[in-house]
Structure 1
Amino acid sequence: MNLLLTLLTNTTLALLLVFIAFWLPQLNAYAEKTSPYECGFDPMGSARLPFSMKFFLVAITFLLFDLEIALLLPLPWAIQTNNLNTMLTMALFLISLLAASLAYEWTQEGLEWAE
C-alpha cells in the first residue's frame, strides 16, 4: 500500500510539473520574447542551428542505457535475500540483458556516427 501511494504521488507530481511547464510559458508569449538578443544589435543570422539527428539518437540511447544501469543494477542487492545464488543469478541476468541490448543496438547500426 505504501508503494502504491508513493507511485501515485510521484506520478501526480510529475504530471503536475509537466502541465505547469507547458502552460506557464503560454501566458506571456509575444514575438519580442522569442527573438534572439545580441547586445542591442539586429541578429546576424538565425538563432536556430540545425541539429544532427544521429547525435540526438545516440544521446537518447546513452540516457536509456544509463538509466537502466542506475535503476536495475542495484536491484539484486536491494531485494535483501540471503541466498547468494539468487543475487548472482539476477545480477548476471541484468548484465546479460544490457549486453544483449547493446548488441542489438550495434547490429541495427544505431551507434554508427558516419552516414
Structure 2
Amino acid sequence: MWFFESSGVLGPYSSLAGVSVFIIFMGLGFMGLAVMVSQKWRYESDKLTSFECGFDPMSSSRMPFSLRFFLLALLFLVFDLEMVLFFPYIFSVTNCFVELSVMSKIWSVIFLLILVLGLIHELNEGTLDWEMDE
C-alpha cells in the first residue's frame, strides 16, 4: 500500500507514520460504527425499574454501599500491584547466577521503603480498621 512505503520526507519512519495514521483512522471508524449501532431509544420509567411480578416496586432497588469496602479493595489493588512488581526482583536475588549492581539494590530498598511507609500510613489513618467509629 502507498502509506506503508518509505518516502524521502520522513525517511525510515514513514512506514511507522503510515501505520499510525491507519490505526487512528481505523479506531475512529470503529468508534463511529459503535455510536451508530448503539443508538439509545427513549427510556421509559417502567423499563428502568426492577420487576416485582407486575406490581410497583416497594422500595428502591439500589442498596447503600459502604465506602470502606471500596477503600479496602483499592488498597488491596495498590499493594497487590506493588508485590507483583516486586516478584521479579525476588527471583533475581534468589538466582545464584545473577549479580545485582549496587544501584539495583538501592532502588529495591527505596521501593520496599515506599511500600512499608504506605502501609504504615494506612494503618495510622485507620483505613484498615474494620470496626466503625461511632
TM range (shorter): 0.5 to 0.7
Using structure 2 for the length normalisation, give the TM-score: 0.50
What is the RMSD computed on CA atoms of the aligned residues? 3.5
Do structure 1's residue 27 and structure 2's residue 40 form an aligned pair? yes
Using structure 1 for the length normalisation, give the TM-score: 0.56
Do structure 1's residue 83 and structure 2's residue 99 form an aligned pair? yes
**Which residue identity is paired with 1:51?**
F
Indicate the residue corresponding to 2:71 in structure 1: 57
Deviates more, 1:44-53 or 1:89-98: 89-98
Shift of 1:55: 2.1
Greater percentage in helix:
1
Which of residues 104, 110, 113 in structure 1 aligns to 2:127?
Answer: 110
d(CA) in 2 for partners of 1:51 and 1:29? 29
1:83–1:90 distance in 2 versus 1, CA, 3 Å: farther
Do structure 1's residue 100 and structure 2's residue 117 form an aligned pair? yes
Shift of 1:107: 0.8
Indicate the residue corresponding to 2:57 in structure 1: 43
1:83–1:33 distance in 2 versus 1, CA, 3 Å: farther
**Which residue identity is paired with 2:115?**
L
Shift of 1:29: 5.9
Which of residues 87, 93, 104 in structure 2 aligns to 1:74?
Answer: 87
Deviates more, 1:86-95 or 1:102-111: 86-95
Instruction: Give aligned-pair identity as a percent.
Output: 34
The gaps in structure 2 that reach 5 residues or longer are: 1-22
Rg (Cα) greater in structure: 2
d(CA) in 2 for partners of 1:73 and 1:34? 46
Q: Which has the higher contact order (CA 8 A, sep 6+)?
A: 1
1:68–1:37 distance in 2 versus 1, CA, 3 Å: farther
